[in-house]
Structure formats: C-alpha cells, structure tokens
Structure 1
Amino acid sequence: MVNFKIQLSAQLENVQEILVRHSRLLLAAQFRCTSCQEVTENWDSYEISGSRGEANLVIRCKLCKRESTASFVGGYSVYNEEHSGQYASLAELDCRGLEPVEFKPRDHFLVVASSGARFEDVDLSEKEWFDYDEKSGDSVSIMELETQIKRV
C-alpha cells in the first residue's frame, strides 16, 4: 500500500474556495502500472475480482493485464483563499499496483466566490478561469494553476 496526495496551487481573485467532485477526480488522473511501468491514459473499470473489498477505481493494465486499485483515504479537502499561491492537498489516494503520474484538471470543479455565488462544472483544463460574479459585481478568477502528486 502506497499513498499519494493530489495537490493544487493557484492564485485566487475573489474566490473563497475550490471544491472537486471525488467521483470525477480519478478520471482526471493518469496512472502507471507498477508491474510493467505502462502509463495508462484510457482504461476500463472492473469490479475487484475474487474480493469483497471496495475501491474507488479498479483498472486492469492493458499491457500486463494486472488488476490494480485506487481508493480515497479519508475525506477530501477544499482549496481556499488561505492556500492561494501555495500547494494544498485535494485528496489522498491509497494505490495498490499503480501510481498516479499526472493530474489533469478538467470540468469537475465547483468554485465558490467570496460573495457566496457558486459556479458549477468549472473547467480548469486551460490552467486558468475567469468569470463575473453578478452578486457582488466583481470579477472572479483562478490563475497560475499548477498540480503535483506527492508520495506520502
């Protein structure tokens, strides 16, 4: 069992917090099989064979056919204005037979503006996002977005 933290860093303007949906977080990660070192971009999900255990992601390597799993450890965190400009963990994963090599943010974020206005399904694939908060009359933005994966 090896744990990894998916971390985010960004500059926030009039943004109170960034939240991510767990169910879609794993779909934005790229994994490497620890058996054959094959990096998997597109995978198929499977039930854990011969086990009553559960995992958030079960994949079978397309090259060596080894079954591997990833599960969330504890809850997930939010990235908020206190973290602006520094790395903070979004989630911790317990990985067995695979390791995350890259996290590619997509359209699975919920952004809460300083006024409390909510922006659903925010796409951060361009590593920046700009919008207008009609509630406060201010612009809201996420800039200089970077991600990293840390082995725990």
Structure 2
Amino acid sequence: MLSLILSAELTGVTDLRPQDTEEEPYYYTFKVQCTSCRETHPNWVSFNRYEQHEIPGSRGEANFVWKCKLCQRTHSASIMSGPSAYEGDEKRKGKKVIDIECRGLEFTEFKPDGDWEAKGTESSSPFTGIDLLEGEWYDYDEKAGDEVAIKEISWRLGRA
C-alpha cells in the first residue's frame, strides 16, 4: 500500500481536499515506475477512483492498468481509501490524502493537476477551484474579512 501524503501551511482555511465526485472526478497524476525492471514511464499518467479497467489475464479490475514497454509486464493500481481532508494544524506530520494498492508498479512523483477545495476556518466560506500547481494559493475570505492562503506545499509518497 502506498500513501500520498500532503504537508502544507494553511492560513484561514481548513479541510483541504481534491474536488472529487462521481459526476466530476479528480484525476490523480503521477510518474510511474515498473518494480520489475525499474523503467520509469516518460510521461505523467492520470486516473480517477471511479473508473475501473479490466486487468488482462485476470478476472480483476483496477483504477489504473499499465503495461511496461521495456519488460512487457502488466501492472495495476487502485485507490483504496480517500480522499481525506487536510486540517490546518497537520503541517508537521503531514496527512494521507489517499491510499493506493500497487501491484508491480510504484508511483514516484505526484502532480496536483486539478481543482481542490477548502473552507474558511472562521467563516466556513467554501473555496473551490483551488489550483495547487504553483505550490501556493492566495484568496480573500469576505465573511471573515481576512486573507487566506495555502503555502509551503509538499507531497511525498510513502508506504502505508
């Protein structure tokens, strides 16, 4: 099991999470590596937790199925839990966003390519369409009358 772990400094917002519904799924974007031959796919790959794909030669399904071009082995991954909300006070230890079961592959890097959402700490004002690609985000909470921010964003992938 592999976990995507987020650390960030939240100012004036809490409950940061990907905007991820069945109607509008969040596509998790990663660099992928074959654990058999250690070949890393040159492109980013994306998948969501709602789509299922058949695994060739198996009766199973997974959210992501990939055939390594070098060793020709087929590998798969499925999101097992998440997404979990990141609270403002979790910066030091980080928080698991999702857990992924990987078979024959490993994700080596994450790109927050998609919209995130949060709510105002004091006002509960909803903030949607948050773009974390630049590594920081700033806005203004009208109800609270104060600036809100997400800074010092870091991602890591760790064994659960």
> TM (normalized to structure 2)?
0.81
Identify unmatched segments of 5+ residues in structure 1.
none
In structure 2, what is the equivalent of residue 127 of structure 1? 135
What does residue range 7-86 of structure 1 map to in structure 2 within 5 Å? 7-20=5-18, 21=20, 23-26=25-28, 28-40=29-41, 41-43=43-45, 47-86=54-93
Instruction: Give the TM-score normalised by structure 1.
Output: 0.85
Q: Is the 8 A contact 1:5 1:89 kept in 2?
A: yes
Identity of aligned residues (%): 38
**CA distance in structure 2 between the partners assigned to 1:43 and 1:130 by the alignment:** 28
CA distance in 1, matches of 2:151, 2:46: 33
Higher fraction of helix: 1
Structure 1, residues 71-105: CA drift from partner, whole Å, max 9, x if none?
12233311112313431111111100101111122
Q: Deviations over 1:96-150 (max 9, x none)?
A: 0101111122223112222222222311111111011223222110000011111
Contact 2:36 2:104 survives alignment (8 Å) = yes
Kept in 2: contact 1:105–1:124 (CA 8 A): yes
- The number of residues matched between the two structures is 149
Unaligned runs of 5+ in 2: 48-52
The root-mean-square deviation of aligned C-alpha atoms, in Å, is: 2.2
Q: Which shows bigger deviation, 17-26 or 31-40? A: 17-26
Q: Structure 1 stretch 5-14 or stretch 97-106: which is displaced more?
A: 97-106
- How big is the shift at 1:43? 4.7
Contact 1:18 1:112 in 2 (8 A): yes
